[in-house]
Structure 1
Amino acid sequence: MNSFEANFDGLVGPTHNYAGLSIGNVASKLSANDISSPKSAALQGIAKMKALHDMGMTQGVFAPQERPDILSLRRLGFSGTDANVLEQAHKEAPNVLSACFSASSMWTANSSTVSPSGDTHDGKIHFTPANLTNKFHRSLEPEITGNILKAVFNDEKHFNHHLHLNENDHFGDEGAANHTRLCNNYGEQGVEIFTFGKYAFNSAKPAPKKFPARQTLEASQAVARLHGLGDDNVVYVQQNPDVIDQGVFHNDVISVGNQNVLFYHEQAFLNTDKFLAEVQSKFGSDDVHFIKVSTDEVSLQDCVQTYLFNTQIITLNDGPNGKEMAIIAPKHCYHNPKVKAYLDRLVTLNTPIKQVKYFDVNESMKNGGGPACLRLRVAMTENELAAVNQNCIMSDALYGNLEAWINKHYRDQLSFDDLRDPNLLVESRTALDELTQLLNLGSVYHFQQV
Structure 2
Amino acid sequence: MAVIDLMLGVVRAVVFVYDVLTYPVYTFIQQPWEAKTRQNLGVVHQTERNAEAIAFRRDKGASEIYQEIIVRNGVDTVSKAFNYSVKKFGQKECLGIREVHGIEDEVQQNGKVFQKLSLVSKRGPSFQKVFNFCYEYKRYWMKRGRGTPICDKIVFNKIRSLLGGKMDFVLVGGAPLCEKTHDFIRTCLGVTVVQGYSLTESGCTGTVMESRDLSTGTVGRPMTGLEVKLINWEEGNYNVSDTPRPRGEICLSGTPVAKGYFKVDSNTKDSFFVDNQGKRWFKTGDVGEFDSQGQLRIIDRKKDLVKLQLGEYVSLGKVEAQLKTHPLVENICVYGDPYKQTTVALVVPSKVHLEALGQRLGKTESFEQLCTDSDVLEAVLKDLSTTGLSQGLEKFEIPSALTLCPDPWTPESGLITAAFKLKRKVVQRQFQDRINQMYSQKRPSSP
Asked which structure has the greater RCO (Cα within 8 Å, sep 6+), the reply is 1
Larger Rg: 2
TM exceeds 0.5? Answer: no
Scaled by the length of structure 2, the TM-score of the pair is: 0.27
Scaled by the length of structure 1, the TM-score of the pair is: 0.26
